[in-house]
Amino acid sequence: MILASIVYVTVKVLPTLINEYQFKDDIQDIALSASVNRPTVDQIRQAVLKEAEKQNLPIQAEDIKVDLPGKSVHISVDFSVTVDLTVYKWTLNFHPEASNDALV
């Protein structure tokens, strides 16, 4: 019974964790390319929203913070995903960040 519960929780939660990991990698790519292209804050925010849609993550524009101090770019996103485990609803909170500080 315990093993079945562990497998069930893993099957329900793992896709969300994988999507968040891929999303974090995607926003890192956006931050790195922003150092070359120099897009506006709104353009960066739209690119992040587009990646969130690809990963089926419930992210709104107000969840995304973009800072452009000098020549660097810093992107941070705060969002939550609730996973329905039938007997319990588990809310996972994520705070991925990306920046291009190493390039500057």
DSSP string, 32-71: HHHHHH---HHHHHHHHHHHHHHTT----GGGEEEE--TT
Three-class secondary structure of residue 76 per DSSP: strand
Structure pTM? 0.85
Q: Please check whether residue 37 lies inside any domain of the structure.
A: yes
Q: Please check whether residue 68 lies inside any domain of the structure.
A: yes
Digit-coded pLDDT (tens) for 25-40: 999 999 999 878 888 9
Distances (CA, A) of 46 to 8, 12, 33, 39, 101: 35, 29, 14, 11, 21
* Residue 35 pLDDT: 79
Q: Please check whether residue 104 lies inside any domain of the structure.
A: no
Total structural domains within the chain? 1
